A and B are shown apart, each in its own frame.
Chain A
Amino acid sequence: AQSVTQLGSHVSVSEGALVLLRCNYSSSVPPYLFWYVQYPNQGLQLLLKYTSAATLVKGINGFEAEFKKSETSFHLTKPSAHMSDAAEYFCAVSAGGFQKLVFGTGTRLLVSP
């Protein structure tokens, strides 16, 4: 079975500061990993995904994530936060050829001026 742990239900940063959202996964087979963003009253939008190609994955809106097998991590980063980045971020895993996504509990990113 697969699972995802997101450390920190809330993360606060100042505009222009580094964003770091943590995700650790557990999977008995090579995983596929995803980061989704959810803005208030909207559905989920894919930011980026890891599918066993390059370990450093670049996504939309300046976000990137690095797959580290030794640490079972897939942390999401952005060098400089923008007010529009304020949203909830979900890490998800799928594995074994099945497309069921297993989501973490989410991290709410707050950006202050």
Chain B
Amino acid sequence: DSGVTQTPKHLITATGQRVTLRCSPRSGDLSVYWYQQSLDQGLQFLIHYYNGEERAKGNILERFSAQQFPDLHSELNLSSLELGDSALYFCASSVDKGGTDTQYFGPGTRLTVL
């Protein structure tokens, strides 16, 4: 158990819908990262928040957005869903924002878009 929690574990929805994925970082961690894992794209970085502020963006679609709240939990919002958005979405957390910090991954949310 990494100490990072993600809800829900599974999500099944239809095209065009909007969903929210939730992540609670390990106690004391200020950074939260979101990654997408799919068969065709592999593991891809989406976005990084540090202490409530966006620090870096990766291959995140405009239909996707995220935020980190004052209690440091984070939410990833996916809208106008397409079949290709079906994937595993991981959240990771780390203590700080430096390059050597270990990122601890949550168990993931499996999104299926029908």
Report A's interface with B, CB cutoff 8 A.
32, 36, 42-46, 49, 51, 90, 94-106
Contacts and interface: CB of A to CB of B under 8 A. Distances in A.
Interface of B: 2, 4, 31, 33, 35, 42-45, 48, 55-56, 58, 90, 92, 94, 97-108
A99 B2 contact: no
A51 B100 contact: yes
Given A94-B99, A95-B99, A103 B42 contact: yes
Contacts, number: 60
A97 B99 contact: yes
Given A49-B102, A99-B31, A106-B42, 12 more contacts: A32-B99, A42-B108, A43-B2, A43-B106, A43-B108, A44-B90, A46-B104, A95-B99, A101-B103, A103-B43, A104-B42, A106-B43
A100 B45 contact: yes
A100 B102 contact: no
A98 B33 CA distance: 12
